[in-house]
């Protein structure tokens, strides 16, 4: 389909929310709560984090007021969209005692439609990575597939990067070229507050028809692309991906793993905030009468010692082995399994690590150790 581009004034977020809700979507977006930008159902632009930015560094996160009224002036908070498609707690089925046997009631998949407003380009890349995990050809997660197929995605290209961002070097941002229904670029300055709107799907085009927006000139799109390239080049954190998987696998016994393990608390924060991590465990819950039982899937983490417990013992009994598993899976094993890196450079694991462990530094240190 053609890549149509329109321009809109500052009322666009409200108009989009109304149009999506009229079409039956539950609209989810960023909102400020408890000192952080989190995701929740939003009804109007007043629910968005207008005039706020985040101050992020390794092990540090604060909300701050901006000097302007930017609607999407933040980057990424601790939560990611995976919580809606791959929920932290999800009932798989329930069973009821029936005579001398039992009856299984499968979980009915959600039939509602979600619209994700404000998906950053790195987060869009993360959704596409999780698609390969939950929505691959061989194994399809029915809950994920049902919601993901129907989800309406409004991406917002980044105008600023947090110091923790490194999407520029991962090739996942700060601008999205496809994979969305609509992509917005917020333009602010000299009394100007408007949006560039790019159409990425028939669904997006249909929604926009009702808004009757004016087409934008080619120059506006070129200017947005140029700004995004400048922003990518200005990011101070980066990961050198060429030959990284080989370098990591060649250094499995390097002493640096033990050094990092001395700092790592195995708290699992990095995996909880990561938009691509997908480890889970299964738990059976029975009532006291024994008449009713439920099976739940819950988020788990490769940092939890029980996660690597198999018949006969724990495969990864030390923090060193668990940190090494996480990093090598993200940047090496994931490529073998899914044909892509498991990292999109969102920087969340850096910000939310209580020990301020920065994977860009860890990778550089391990890479510097390669002697081959
Ligand atoms: S790297 Fe940081 S966030 Fe991850 S488990 Fe270790 S201490 Fe927790
Ligand atoms: S590993 Fe860290 S930087 Fe990479 S996607 Fe996960 S949270 Fe983001």
Beta strands in the chain (DSSP E): 5-9, 25-33, 36-41, 52-57, 60-65, 89-98, 101-106, 113-119, 152-156, 182-189, 192-199, 214-215, 280-286, 292-299, 309-310, 313-314
Instruction: Find the mean pLDDT for residues 90-102.
Output: 92
Write down the pTM of the prediction. Answer: 0.95
Distance in Å, CA 84 to ligand 2 centroid: 18
Classify residue 10 by burial, with Cβ atoms within 10 Å: 0-12, 13-18, 19+: middle
Query: Rounded to 5 degrees, what are φ and ψ at 353?
Result: -80, 120
| Percent of the chain residues topping a pLDDT of 90 | 90
pLDDT tens string 5-24:
999 999 999 999 999 999 99
Q: Ligand 1: which residue has its CA nearest to atom 2?
A: 353
| Pocket flag, ligand 2, residue 276 (CB < 6 Å) | yes
312: left (phi over 0), alpha (psi -120 to 50) or beta: left
Closest atom of ligand 2 relative to the 345 alpha carbon: 3
Report the alpha-carbon distance of residue 43 to residue 286 in Å, rounded: 38
pLDDT tens string 205-254:
999 998 999 999 889 999 999 999 999 999 999 999 999 999 999 999 99
191: left (phi over 0), alpha (psi -120 to 50) or beta: left
| Pocket flag, ligand 1, residue 302 (CB < 6 Å) | no
Q: Ligand 1: which residue has its CA nearest to atom 5?
A: 266
| Pocket flag, ligand 1, residue 357 (CB < 6 Å) | yes
Which residues, 6 or more positions from 288, have their beta carbon under 8 angstroms from its beta carbon?
none
pLDDT tens string 298-321:
999 999 999 998 888 999 999 999
| Pocket flag, ligand 1, residue 270 (CB < 6 Å) | yes
Distance in Å, CA 99 to ligand 2 centroid: 50
Closest atom of ligand 2 relative to the 277 alpha carbon: 6
Q: Give residue 158's pLDDT.
A: 97
Which residues, 6 or more positions from 11, have their beta carbon under 8 angstroms from its beta carbon?
none
Structural domain boundaries of the chain?
A: 5-92+101-234, 244-279+300-368
């Amino acid at each position: 389909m053609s890549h149509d581009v329109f321009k809109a004034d500052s009322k666009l977020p409200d108009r989009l929310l109304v149009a999506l809700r009229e079409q039956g979507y539950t609209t989810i977006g960023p909102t400020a709560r408890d000192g952080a930008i989190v995701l929740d159902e939003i009804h109007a632009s007043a629910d968005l984090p207008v005039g706020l930015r985040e101050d992020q560094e390794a092990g540090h996160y604060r909300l701050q007021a901006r000097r302007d009224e930017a609607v999407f002036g933040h980057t990424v908070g601790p939560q990611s969209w995976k919580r809606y498609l791959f929920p932290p707690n999800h009932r798989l089925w329930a069973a009821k005692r029936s005579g001398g046997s039992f009856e299984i009631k499968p979980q009915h998949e959600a039939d509602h439609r979600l619209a994700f407003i404000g998906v950053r380009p790195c987060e869009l890349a993360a959704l596409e990575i999780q698609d390969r995990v939950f929505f691959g050809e061989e194994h399809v997660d029915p809950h994920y597939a049902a919601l993901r197929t129907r989800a309406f995605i409004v991406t917002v290209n980044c105008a600023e990067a947090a110091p923790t961002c490194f999407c520029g070097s991962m090739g996942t941002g700060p601008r999205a070229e496809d994979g969305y229904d609509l992509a917005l670029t917020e333009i602010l300055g000299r009394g100007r507050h408007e949006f560039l709107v790019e159409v990425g799907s028939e669904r997006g085009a249909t929604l926009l028809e009702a808004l009757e927006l004016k087409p934008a000139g080619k120059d506006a799109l070129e200017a947005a692309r140029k700004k995004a390239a400048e922003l990518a080049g200005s990011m101070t954190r980066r990961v050198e991906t060429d030959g990284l998987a080989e370098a990591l696998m060649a250094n499995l016994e390097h002493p640096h793993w033990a050094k990092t393990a001395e700092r790592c608390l195995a708290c699992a924060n990095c995996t909880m905030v990561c938009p691509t991590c997908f480890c889970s465990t299964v738990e059976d819950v029975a009532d006291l009468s024994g008449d009713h039982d439920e099976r739940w899937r819950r988020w788990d983490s490769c940092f939890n010692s029980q996660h690597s417990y198999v018949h006969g013992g724990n495969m990864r009994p030390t923090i060193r082995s668990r940190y090494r598993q996480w990093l090598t899976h993200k940047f090496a094993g994931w490529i073998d399994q899914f044909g892509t890196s498991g990292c999109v450079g969102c920087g969340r694991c850096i910000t939310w690590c209580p020990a301020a462990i920065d994977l860009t530094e860890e990778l550089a240190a391990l890479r510097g150790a390669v002697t081959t």
